[in-house]
A = this chain, B = another copy of it.
Amino acid sequence: MDKTIDSIFKQYSTASMFELLHKKINEIITLTDEEFNYCRTAFTPRKLRKRQYLLQEGDVGKYQAFVEKGLLRSYKIDDKGVEHILQFAPEGWWVADLYSFFTDEPSSFNIEALEDSEVLLINKSSWDMLLQNVPKFERYFRVLLQNNLVATQRRLMGSLSETAEEKYLKYTQTYPDCMQRVPQHMIASYLGITRETLSRIRKQLSEKK
């Protein structure tokens, strides 16, 4: 049947895989078809199953990953064995250990798929080539980094000044979509509080209103 053939085609077509990346890039810079076609060659698609690691502590973070589908997280385990989540990365976001990527030092982060996911990977030499051959990408990444820095500074200031409840409320407002997709104890870990405290806060809030 046509339907089957079509879905097989879709499964193997890389055309569809680059849709979101294309859209996202276009929001910041304007590329010619030729430039975008070159850009495609710089990336390798990869599928990840739920719980699969893209990067494990101790390895070098050889890739920056653009998330086409699914949801990943990057996190670190401290000396006491506690997990701290740096980032959730749903569709349209980038994840990587930038430090490890740029320095080739072993990473102290883990990056893991929280859902079955599809990512586009770019390694250091492809990335260097991309910037060299399409200098507009300097601007694209500059803008991404700018936004990311502003958001991270905000989160830092919040972590220094807000109560656990304030952090939670701000989080639910800022990332309402992630709420459904991420288990509670990971939200707690992202916020820098314990699962128990988050559970109590949610109870209080539901009673209050």
Residues of A within 8 A of B (CB): 76, 78-80, 82, 84, 86, 98-99, 102, 131, 135, 138-139, 141-142, 145-146, 148-150, 152-153, 155-157, 159-162, 192
Contact = CB atoms under 8 A, between A and B. Distances in A.
* Chain multiplicity (copies): 2
A142 B152 contact: no
Question: From DSSP, what is the main secondary structure of chain A's interface residues?
Answer: helix
B156 A86 contact: yes
A96 to B, nearest CB: 11
A160 B87 CA distance: 13
A177 B50 CA distance: 46
A26 to B, nearest CB: 18
Contacts of A142: 138, 141-142, 145
A86 B152 CA distance: 11
A98 B135 contact: no
A39 to B, nearest CB: 17
Given A135-B138, A161-B82, A161-B84, A145 B149 contact: yes
